[in-house]
Each structure stands twice: as C-alpha cells, then as structure tokens.
C-alpha cells in the first residue's frame, strides 16, 4: 500500500545527506595508502622439484616430438598461425590423430611425457586433451601412471 508519510521521510533523508556523490569524478583513489610491507612467497613443503635427469629426459623427448611433427605437414596448421595470427583449434579426432602418430613414431618413449609435451605444444588444457583421447589411449596412460606408483591400485578397470 502507498503511504505518503513514508515518501516524505525518504525525501527528508535525501536532503539531509546532501547531493549524491559521483563515483567516477569524485573518487578518492589518490588518497589510497599503498602497502609497502615485505611480501614473502614460500614454496609448499609438499612440492618436490623435478630432478635434473627427469628434466633432461623431458627435453630430449620434446626435441624428438618436435622433429617428428616437423616431418609431417598436416599438423602445421595447428602449430603455426594463419595470416591473422590465429591458430586452428583441434577437435577430438585431430587430438587422437596427432597423439597416435607421435606414440607410434616414438614407441619406446614414455607416454606420460608425450602426453604432457603434446598438450603443451598445441596449447591444450591437459584435462581437455585427456578427455578427447580414445579409451584405449586413456587406458595406456592410466596403466603407465599406475606402473610408476602415481595411482593407487584399487578397484578399477585397469
């Protein structure tokens, strides 16, 4: 219901508080104090840096993957930008095709590292890359992770 007394009270409150403040032109950003206290960042104690040997192995596999991909021109459209500087997006079949090509060409190399390198080379989120892989490739990755002790051996299909 409409109550005229309430509207009058509201108008009185507006008059008492003065004119409305313009947030853009009447800002106070110049008056803000800057916090210059020391900031320290600490590495999580659970984090274990990669060993030198692991980093070296990963770089060697990266060189092999890049060499293998450079021999096959059909993947250039995903690795090199077009005239406008845009990269072509990979769909599920493209991801499976390139992954299959690389693991076949580098059959002696660990699939986990190949997976990591490919997702990095093509700038695809690892979760999306994994979800796009066929079930047989996923099974291979899971089996390799379990063999390294990264996944617990429990009630799983693999």
pTM of model > 0.75: no
Predicted local confidence at residue 131, as pLDDT? 93
Structural domain boundaries in the chain: 52-148
Question: Residue 81 has what DSSP assignment?
Answer: -
pLDDT tens track for 2-32: 555 555 555 555 555 566 777 777 776 666 6
Please give the Cα distance from 142 to 149 (Å, whole number): 11
Please give the Cα distance from 119 to 128 (Å, whole number): 9
Considering only the C-alpha atoms of the chain, give the largest distance between any 2 of them, rounded to a whole number of Å.
Answer: 85
pLDDT tens track for 59-70: 888 999 999 988
Question: Does the structure show a pLDDT above 90 at 151?
Answer: no
Place of tokens 């692991």: 54
pLDDT tens track for 95-115: 999 999 999 999 999 999 999
């Amino acid at each position: 219901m409409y109550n005229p007394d309430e509207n009058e009270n509201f108008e009185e409150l507006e008059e008492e508080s003065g004119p409305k403040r313009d947030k853009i032109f009447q800002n106070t950003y110049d008056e803000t104090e800057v916090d210059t206290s020391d900031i320290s960042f600490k590495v999580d104690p659970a984090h274990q840096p990669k060993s030198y040997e692991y980093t070296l192995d990963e770089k060697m596999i990266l060189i092999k993957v890049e060499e293998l991909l450079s021999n096959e021109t059909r993947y250039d459209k995903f690795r090199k930008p077009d005239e406008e500087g845009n990269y072509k997006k990979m769909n599920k079949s493209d991801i499976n095709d390139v992954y299959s090509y690389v693991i076949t060409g580098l059959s002696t190399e660990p699939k986990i590292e190949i997976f990591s390198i490919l997702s990095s080379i093509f700038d695809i989120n690892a979760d999306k890359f994994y979800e796009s892989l066929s079930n047989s490739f996923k099974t291979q990755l899971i089996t390799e992770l379990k063999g390294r002790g990264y996944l617990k051996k429990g009630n799983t299909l693999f």
